[in-house]
Structure 1
Amino acid sequence: MTKRMIWTGGAVVLAVLVVAGAFFLFLRAPAAVVVTPFRGMAVEAVYATGTVEPVNYARVGAKISGRITNVLKREGEPVEKGNILAIIELGEDISRVHELEARLKLANADLDRARTLRRSGNVSEAALDQAQSAQSATAAALRGAKARLDDHFITAPMAGTVLRSESQIRVGDMAQPGHVLFMVGDTAELQIDAEVDEEDITKVAPEQEALIRADAFPGRALKGTVKRITPYGDPVGRTYRVYISLPADTPLISGMTTEINIVVRREEEALLVPVSALSGNSVWTVSGGRARRVEVELGAVGSDTAEILSGLPEDALVIANPSSGIAEGDRVRAEQAAPDGTS
């Protein structure tokens, strides 16, 4: 009996030592700030960049080469359709028009005379036909000369505002065919011409909300709506053009560069963890005082939080900011933190 009592006492002492040792090891284990997943808003967005431009605008250039002799409209000035923006030296073309106008006047008079004489029988039908042919040929030549003369006048193809004149065009500058000299547009309705990576374009659809940022308005998230998507992308840049419509009261103006986030999915009650908790497609949790790596399916990842679609229990203890040297099964001491990962 005595031996039994002594053995039992030794067991008690051993148990105390084991508990004390475990507590000592627990205190020596590195601390890990943990957070439980929480519910909140998750927004998945596609990033794009773009430039503000009028919905309706036209680039205007010269059809002929020549020296600019007059510039009648400048940047910022309103124009009506057909207003002359600039004139290219008229040269011989205007002289040709004046010559043919005089010749047509004589041809008309000769035709009238031939008709009068034909009615009185004093000229033949052939003479009348000859006068008619001469008048028709001169009229046709005059129309052609006027068409060539019209090419000297660079005109506005639509009503609006002169948005830009190329290189501050001046009298004496040379114009070349196909060279854009002016941009005319209606600034009442604006849009953004945006570029979206081909890997993201399948997520984008008309009527999706677009959140817009511009350097001219720091700290402000402006809004727009996806209007249309080009069906054929740029195989070199590997992008697709997306047009973002803007509200009438937008503060953005033509020519501004923008960054855009197109909202493709919005989840009101998403399961979230701090983005600092991510290690690739996994998170580290604490279970039984040891670190455990858990593979998860990620959804939207923002600057502060990440959406967990599957793989993580809601009551898990997630290490908010795991160290780079952490390994599966490491002993850790959990310290509860706020949901955002702060202690």
Structure 2
Amino acid sequence: MRAVPYKSIVIIGLVIVIAAFLTFRWWQGPLLPSYTISSMPLVQTVVATGRVVAVSRTEIGSEVAGVVVERLVQEGEQVAVGDLLLSLSSDEVAAQVSQAQAQLAQLTSSTRPQATVDLANAQVALAQASRNVERRRDLAAISAISDEEMEQAIQAQAQTRNDLENARLRANALSAGGVEEDLLRARIAALQAQLDKTQVRSKVSGTILSRTVEIGDLVQPGQGLFTIALDGNTEIRVPLDERNLSRLAVQQEAIAIADAYPDEAFPVRISFIAPSIDPQRGTVEVRLAVDPVPDFLRQDMTVSVNIETDRRLKALVVPNDALANVRGDNAEVWLLREGRVQRQPVTLGLRGLAASEVLSGLSAGDEILVDATLALDNGARVKTTQQSASFANTDEQITTTTSVENQAAGTVN
């Protein structure tokens, strides 16, 4: 019998080894990635985008009509009570003030002294007319003059008495503190107030948010010229999905980050939760108080807020991609036992975009498949390769979040 060539024996041996290896691998099942469940701290938050607003703002306008001749402030500038914002044309009113002041000066230097002189002259004239009447009366007693001459003397005396009364009234009116002076001073005060109104000043302290006027513009009374955010409380207003309402409470702490200053986080807290829901968007307005207010914060800045809604010092954490058939707080995972997989029901606690807390159904150290959607049979053999979850760092807390873009509502899954 002819001997089998050595080369053929080697080939047959290799085929047998390969077949045995493939059979063993088939028996082990497919190679799949898996996670090992562990306990670690867990913080659940809601992340949303809102805007900075001043609690109060006011509009400054002009009380008089006029043309703007000077504007002294720009948007973003800080102003205090009494600061000049702009000036209106005031030539006509200023001329009227000067005219009234000249009339007052004339009253003091000329008209009032003349009235005093006129009063003295009227007193002299009355005394003279009274003496003339007495003389005529003596003459009439001896029929030296006619009755007509006597009547003329009496009429002249009455006229001088009336002239004296008029002079007295005029002197009183023109005296210091009299009616004429009071009227002139009141007119000057009114014109001066009108003149002062051409200087538009801030009635509050705050920051100029907007202006709607330029030099040369004609403004009318009541027209809004500047919008000012009042100094004082500042808050962030955020629309959140109404599904988050049960997780929110007044005084909850949060962290805010302005988009313009991503490295400058600052603390905030919920100060108000709206009592009603926006029916069109399904959101609830939440206001967060800012105290202290960072120097860089500006009105209407876009700000991201991270509201802590719950935390666990120690919790079993499962990546969300390992969950299947999620219904409310119930879900399933592929659990490995002695190289075989089985569907394992679990009960969930805190939940977020990246991971969820497992309240029951798993224990620390359990191994589960990464992909919960794999079409496997219960009891199927699998071979696994361990994966590290991106959040699985036991030295840090895990934050499960939802993000809100473009003012949309944030939700915790």
TM over 0.5: yes
Aligned counterparts, 1:283-294, within 5 A: 283-286=332-335, 289-292=340-343, 294=345
Q: Tell me if the contact between 1:211 and 1:221 (Cα under 8 Å) persists in the aligned partners.
A: no
Question: Could you tell me which amino acid in structure 1 is paired with residue 199 of structure 2?
Answer: F
Measure the CA separation in 2 of the matches of 1:313 and 1:89. 81
8 Å CA contact 1:224–1:246 kept in 2: the answer is yes
The answer to whether 1:258 aligns with 2:259 is: no
Q: Tell me the TM-score normalized by structure 1.
A: 0.67
> 1:3: which partner in 2?
none
Q: What is the CA–CA distance in structure 1 between the aligned matches of 2:188 and 2:246, rounded to whole Å?
A: 57
SS across alignment from 2:254: strand
Give the unaligned 5+ runs of structure 1. 1-21
* 1:314 aligns to 2:378 (yes or no): no
> What's the CA shift for 1:82?
0.4
Over the matched positions of the two proteins, sequence identity in percent amounts to 19
| Further displaced range: 64-73 or 122-131 | 122-131
Is this contact kept in 2: 1:58–1:157, CA < 8 A? no
RMSD across aligned C-alpha pairs, in angstroms?
A: 4.5
**TM-score of the superposed pair, with normalisation by structure 2:** 0.58
> Counterparts of 1:1-343 in structure 2 under 5 Å?
26-28=27-29, 30-52=30-52, 58-75=58-75, 79-90=79-90, 92-101=92-101, 123=165, 142-159=188-205, 163-166=208-211, 169-175=213-219, 177-181=222-226, 183=228, 186=231, 191-197=234-240, 199=242, 200-201=244-245, 203-218=247-262, 220=263, 222-226=265-269, 228-229=271-272, 235=278, 238-247=283-292, 250=294, 252-255=296-299, 256-279=301-324, 280-281=326-327, 282-286=331-335, 289-292=340-343, 294-303=345-354, 305-308=355-358, 310-315=359-364, 316-323=366-373, 326=375, 329=378, 331=380, 333=382, 335=384, 337-338=386-387, 340=389
Q: What is the deviation of 1:112?
A: 11
Shift of 1:142: 4.9
Q: Distance in 1 between matches of 2:277 and 2:50?
A: 15
Instruction: Give, in angstroms, the shift of residue 55 of structure 1.
Output: 6.9
Whether the 8 Å CA contact 1:194–1:244 is kept in 2: the answer is: no
Tell me if the contact between 1:100 and 1:141 (Cα under 8 Å) persists in the aligned partners. Answer: yes
Partner SS for 2:372 = coil
Q: CA deviation at 1:271?
A: 2.1
* CA shift in 2, pair 1:149/1:233, >3 Å: farther
Asked whether the 8 Å contact 1:115–1:128 carries over to 2, the reply is yes
Higher helix share: 2
Question: Could you tell me which residue of structure 1 aligns to residue 153 of structure 2?
Answer: none
The DSSP-based 3-state class of the residue aligned with 2:321 is helix
Tell me, in whole angstroms, the C-alpha distance in 2 between the residues paired with 1:230 and 1:174: 44
Against the structure 1 CA distance between its residues 25 and 80, is the aligned structure 2 distance closer, same or farther, given a 3 Å change threshold?
closer
C-alpha distance in 1 between matches for 2:291 and 2:56: 13
| CA gap 1:275/1:196 in 2 versus in 1, 3 angstroms | same
* Counterpart code for 2:69: T
Report if the CA contact (8 A) 1:34-1:334 is conserved. no
SS of the residue 1:276 aligns to? helix
Shift of residue 262 of structure 1?
A: 1.5
Contact 2:84/2:202 (<8 A) preserved: yes
* Structure 2 gap ranges (5+): 1-22, 124-163, 392-413
CA spacing shift, 1:321–1:184, aligned 2, 3 Å = same
Structure showing greater Rg = 2
C-alpha distance in structure 2 between counterparts of 1:128 and 1:278, whole Å: 104
Q: Any idea what SS the aligned residue of 1:296 has?
A: strand
Could you tell me how far 1:93 is from its partner in structure 2? 4.1
The alpha carbon displacement at 1:215 in A equals 3.0
Alignment-mate amino acid for residue 211 of structure 2: E
Matched residues in 1 for 2:75 and 2:349: separation?
50
2 CA distance for matches of 1:60 and 1:39? 59
Cα pair 2:72 2:86 within 8 Å, conserved: yes
